[in-house]
Amino acid sequence: MRIFCCKLHLVLLLLLSTSQCIFSDECSSVHTFFVPDEMAALQAILQAWNQTPDMSTNLAGWNSSQLTPCFHSTADWKGVTCYRQQDRGDGNCTAYISGLSLTDASIVGTLPEQIGKISYLFDLTLTNNLGLSGPLPSGLSYLGSLAILDLHNCSFNGTIDDELFYISDIVEVDLSANQFTGQLPNFGGAIYLQTLNISHNQLWGPSPPFYNGTTDYGLLNLTSLTKVDFSGNKLLGPPPNFSASSKLQFVNLSSNLFMNQTYLPYFNNASTLTILDLSNNNFIGSLPDFSLFPVNLQELNLDNNQFNGTLNIDNILNLERKMNRNSLIYTGHLQTLSMRFNNISGVNFSISDIENVISIIKLQNNPYCLHQQSSIIGQNCYCKQTCVVPNNDVRRAIIIATTISGTILVLVIAIGSWLLWRNKQKHYVLLHQAQEKFAEFDIQPTIFSYSELRAATKDFHPDMKLGQGSYGVVYKGIFPNKNEVAVKQLFNESQQSIDEFLNEIVLITGVKHRNLVKLKGCCITTSKKRLLVYEYVENNDLAEALFGKRKHMLNWPVRLNICLGVARGLFYLHEIAQPRIIHRDIKASNILLDKGLQARIADFGLALLFPEDQTHITTMHIAGTMGYLAPEYATRGQLTEKVDVYSFGVLVLEVMSGRKNIDPNLPPHDIYLLDIAWRLARRKGNSIMNLVDCTLELNYEEMKEALRVVKIALLCLQQEPDNRPTMARVVAMLQGEAEIMEIVLDDNLEIESMNKAYENTLLSSKITFSSTQCFEEPNVAMLKRSSSSSQIYDFAPKCQPFEIESFNK
C-alpha cells in the first residue's frame, strides 16, 4: 500500500509540473471550497514572511484578503499549486494545496509550525532564499503526503531531527548549503528515499555506523537510495554504511574527516555506483584494494588524503575492468582515478599501459610527481595526463623490421605505427575533452565504445534500423544484459565539430520531462563517427503510426493525449528549461510513442538556446522541415518560441486529419493541408469539422473536443506571431482550463500561393539548410516520401459534414 501511495504521489507531482491547478472535469462548473486549516496555514506563512522585499513580485498574489490561492479569476498566489475534487455532499468541490515552490524569491523570515496543517502537501521547494532562516518546524513531520523537500541554499539552522524522516513516503530530501549543526539524524523511517543531500552544512561528530559502536542511523533501511551527498561537513570515523543501498549511482562524502579505509567495502554491493568522491578526508595508510570498489565505477576521487606507497596500474585494471585494447572509450568501468595531494612515491606500469590508455589517472602533487623519476614517460602520463611513447621506441621497431623485410616493409610498419599511435592519442584527447565538458555542467552521460554499439546493433544491420531522419539513421540496440536502446548514427557529412557535439549532449542531458526522450549516453571516435544513445521507445514515431498501417491504434483519446503531451513538452522547453530552448524541428517523425502511446519529443539536433534578455533572434541559417516552418522564420529568419508554436499547429492538423501537411498525390487544390483548413475555417458554421479524420468514431462530446482542438491548431497557425498563443496557453486550452482565443482570418491570405512562393524563395535564395534531406531538393524529397502512402484524402466523397450545434467556445 505504501509503495502504491508513493507512486501515486510522484504521478501527481508530474501532473503538477504542467499546470498550476489540477481538477476533475466535474469541478469545472461548480463552486470550490478550500480547507480552512490549510488557508490558515498559508496566512501564517504570509505573516512570517511579511519582511520579504518587493512582495508584489517575489510573492505575487499573496494577500491576506484573498482567500483563494488557486483557481482565482485574476491572480493566483505565486508558487502555490492546488488540486480539487468533487468530494462534498452538496455537489461542490474541495480544493487542497499540493505544492509550495518558490525559488530565488528573496524570502525573509522563518518557516512557521502551521506548515504542518497543509495535510496534502506533496512538494515543498524553497530554494535559493538566503533570508529564510530559523530551525525547521516540527510540523514538517506531520506532512504525511510529502514526497519532495528541497530547501537548499537558504539559512536554516539548528539540528535535523529524526522526526523529519518519519515521513515514510518521502523520496527526495535536499537540505544542502544551510547552517544545520549537530549529529546526523536517524534516516530509517524514510524507507522509499531516493535522493539525500545534506552537504555544506556544519554537521559534526561520528558518522554511522560507528556512533556508539552499534547504530547505523537507519541507513540499512534505505534500499532505494540512488544519490547521496554528505560533503562539506565535519563528520568523523569510517564512511557511512551503504551496504543495503544496491541502487546507488552517485555518492559524495568529500570534505569531511572520514578515516579508516577498512570500511570501504561498504560500497561494494552498489553495482550501479558510477561516481564516488572521497576526497579531502583523513584516509591514512597503504593504497586501497581497488577490487573492493563496485565493478561499474567510472569516477573515483581520492584527492587530498594520506594514502602512501606504490601504485600498481595492473591493480587498477583488474579482471572486472579489462576491455578490448582496440577500444578506448567504454562504459561501466573506471574512467578517471584522481589521487592528487597524497603520499604516493612510485608507479608500476608497462609501456603498453601508456600506449593503450583506458583510464585517466591523476597523481599531481604526490612525491612521485614532485621528484624526477628514471622514466619520464610515466610522469608525463600520470602527472600531466600526456601519455606519449617517445618516437625512438618506434625507430627501434623499424630497425628490427628492416633487417627482416627490407625498406618497403620498414616504411609500412613506420607509417602504420605512427598512425596507430596518433589515433590512440586522439582517442585519449577526445575522452579527456568530453569528461571536462561534462564535469563543467555537472552531468554524467554514459560514454559507450564504438565496438559496444556495433555489437548491440549487429554491426548496424538493416534489420535493426528503426528510421532515418535529417541528420542520421536510428538503430535498435540490444546489450548483453537485454537492455534495449535506440542508437542514432549521425551522418558523416555533418560539419558539426566535437565541441558542438558535446554541447548538444549537454543540452539534451539537461532537459528532463516525461514528454521528452531521455538521452542515455554517446560515443565519440576519431573517425568523426558521432553516435547518440537514447532510451528505446517501443512504438517508433508518430508519422509511422499516423500515415502507415498502424493508424487504427490512434483513436480519439490517444490522439488528444498525443497533442497534449507534445504541448506539455514544448511548454517545458519554452518556459521551464534554463536556458529556454527552441526545438525548431517539431514534426510527426520527431514525435515518438512509448509503450502506452504517450508522446515523446525527440531529435534535438536543431535545437537552439534562447537568451533570456532577447525577444527574438534573426538568423541567416534557416533550419527545419518543409511545411512546418513559420512564415516569418522561413522568409525573414526571425526566430522566437512562436516558431515552435506554428510547427505544433501543423502537427495537430496532421493528427486530426490523419494525412500529411503536403501530399502531392491529391488534386492541386487539396495538396496543402493548411490551405484546406483555412478554406473550411472561412465557411459559416462548423465546416472545419470536415477536416477531422473520417476513420475516427466520435460521439457528441468527442466531436466538441475535436472541434476545440482544431480551433487551437488554427490559433497556432496565425500569420502574425503575436496572434499565436504561448505553449502555456495552449496546454491550458487543451485541458479546458482556458477559453479559446479569437482566430484572426485574413481574407487576403491564400495558403497555396503562399506555400508556392515560400518554396521558390527557398530554392532561389540558395540558403544552406541544416536539414539537408528536407531542403536541398524540397520538391523531390517531399514527393518521394509522400508518394509511398496509398492514402488518397478526398473530403467530399469520403466525409459527411459533422452536424454540431453552435460551439464557439
The domain spanning residue 517 has which CATH number?
3.30.200.20
Question: Which of these ranges, 28-32, 514-518, 660-664, has the smallest mean pLDDT?
Answer: 28-32
Whether residue 440 lies inside any domain: the answer is no
Q: Are residues 291 and 384 in the same domain?
A: yes
Average confidence (pLDDT) over 560-567: 94
The pLDDT value given to residue 806 = 37
Q: Are residues 708 and 743 in the same domain?
A: yes
Whether residue 562 lies inside any domain: the answer is yes
Angle between helices 700-716 and 727-734 (to 10 degrees): 170
Whether residue 660 lies inside any domain: the answer is yes
Sheet with 472-478: strands ordered across: 446-447, 519-524, 530-535, 484-490, 472-478, 465-468
DSSP code string of 173-226: EE--SSEEEES----TT-TT--EEE--SSEEEEEPTTTGGGT--TTGGG-TT--
Average confidence (pLDDT) over 674-703: 86
Q: Does residue 207 surpass a pLDDT of 60?
A: no
Average confidence (pLDDT) over 475-493: 81
Q: Are residues 744 and 708 in the same domain?
A: yes
* Strands 80-85 and 93-101, sheet pairing: antiparallel
Q: Does residue 113 surpass a pLDDT of 70?
A: yes
pLDDT grade, residue 233 (50/70/90)?
Answer: very high
In terms of pLDDT, which residue wins out, 13 or 529?
529
Q: Does residue 74 surpass a pLDDT of 50?
A: yes
- In angstroms, rounded to a whole number, what is the distance separating the alpha carbons of residues 278 and 302? 5
Q: Are residues 516 and 564 in the same domain?
A: no
Q: Does residue 486 surpass a pLDDT of 80?
A: yes
The runs of H, that is alpha helices, within 489-589 are: 498-510, 542-547, 556-571
Q: Are residues 475 and 611 in the same domain?
A: no
Average confidence (pLDDT) over 68-80: 80
Share of the chain above pLDDT 90, in %: 25
The pLDDT value given to residue 429 = 59
Whether residue 212 lies inside any domain: the answer is no
Question: Which of these ranges, 119-128, 524-533, 792-801, has the smallest mean pLDDT?
Answer: 792-801
Residue-wise burial string across 500-534, b where 16 or more C-beta atoms lie within 10 A, e elsewhere: ebbebbbbbbebebbbbbebbbbbbbbeeebbbbb
Note if 459 is an active site residue: no
Whether residue 5 lies inside any domain: the answer is yes
The answer to whether the bond into 209 is cis (omega within 30° of 0) is yes
pLDDT grade, residue 343 (50/70/90)?
Answer: very high
The radius of gyration of the chain's CA atoms, rounded to the nearest angstrom, is 30
Q: Are residues 529 and 547 in the same domain?
A: no
The pLDDT value given to residue 469 = 66
- 488 annotated to bind ligand: yes
Q: Are residues 129 and 94 in the same domain?
A: yes
Q: Are residues 590 and 495 in the same domain?
A: no
User: Across all residues in the chain, what is the average pLDDT?
Assistant: 76
Q: Are residues 560 and 525 in the same domain?
A: no
Average confidence (pLDDT) over 642-668: 92
Cα–Cα–Cα angle for 45, 46, 47, nearest 5°?
A: 90
Number of independent structural domains in the chain: 4
- In angstroms, rounded to a whole number, what is the distance separating the alpha carbons of residues 506 and 501? 9
- In angstroms, rounded to a whole number, what is the distance separating the alpha carbons of residues 27 and 83? 10
Q: Which of 389, 404, 438 corresponds to the end of one domain?
A: 389
Whether residue 384 lies inside any domain: the answer is yes
Residue 657 CA: distances (Å) to CA of 198, 489, 671:
53, 32, 13
Q: For 181-190, write each residue's pLDDT tens digit.
A: 998 898 888 8
- In angstroms, rounded to a whole number, what is the distance separating the alpha carbons of residues 567 and 18? 10
The pLDDT value given to residue 11 = 41
Q: Are residues 327 and 458 in the same domain?
A: no
Cα–Cα–Cα angle for 265, 269, 273, nearest 5°?
A: 95
Which element (helix H / strand E) includes 98? strand 93-101
- In angstroms, rounded to a whole number, what is the distance separating the alpha carbons of residues 56 and 45? 16
Q: Which three cell numbers stand for residue 30?
A: 461548480
Q: Which of 113, 147, 182 corresponds to the end of one domain?
A: 182
Whether residue 29 lies inside any domain: the answer is yes
Q: Are residues 555 and 463 in the same domain?
A: no
The answer to whether the bond into 579 is cis (omega within 30° of 0) is yes
Q: For 448-466, write each residue's pLDDT tens digit.
A: 888 888 888 988 888 898 8
- Domain span at 307: 283-389
The pLDDT value given to residue 557 = 93
pLDDT grade, residue 14 (50/70/90)?
Answer: very low
pLDDT grade, residue 427 (50/70/90)?
Answer: low
In terms of pLDDT, which residue wins out, 441 or 770?
441
Q: Are residues 603 and 487 in the same domain?
A: no
The pLDDT value given to residue 87 = 53
pLDDT grade, residue 107 (50/70/90)?
Answer: very high
Q: For 740-767, write each residue's pLDDT tens digit.
A: 887 877 654 544 444 444 444 444 333 3
Q: Does residue 803 surpass a pLDDT of 70?
A: no
- In angstroms, rounded to a whole number, what is the distance separating the alpha carbons of residues 125 and 367? 47
Number of neighbours of residue 412 by Cβ within 10 angstroms: 12
Q: Which of 535, 561, 593 corresponds to the end of one domain?
A: 535
Q: Which three cell numbers stand for residue 334?
A: 573506471
Whether residue 117 lies inside any domain: the answer is yes
pLDDT grade, residue 570 (50/70/90)?
Answer: very high
The pLDDT value given to residue 228 = 92
Number of neighbours of residue 689 by Cβ within 10 angstroms: 21
Question: Which of these ranges, 288-302, 475-489, 774-788, has the smallest mean pLDDT?
Answer: 774-788
Residue 679 belongs to a domain with what CATH number?
1.10.510.10
- Helix, strand or coil for residue 296? coil
- In angstroms, rounded to a whole number, what is the distance separating the alpha carbons of residues 397 and 411? 11
| Candidates 216, 277, 585, 670; catalytic one | 585
**Residue 21 contacts residue 81 (beta carbons within 8 Å):** yes
> At 475, phi and psi to the nearest 5?
-120, 150
> At 610, phi and psi to the nearest 5?
-110, 115
- In angstroms, rounded to a whole number, what is the distance separating the alpha carbons of residues 673 and 670? 7
Residue 17 belongs to a domain with what CATH number?
3.80.10.10
**Residue 608 contacts residue 546 (beta carbons within 8 Å):** no
Residue 49 CA: distances (Å) to CA of 76, 141, 158, 209:
18, 21, 19, 39
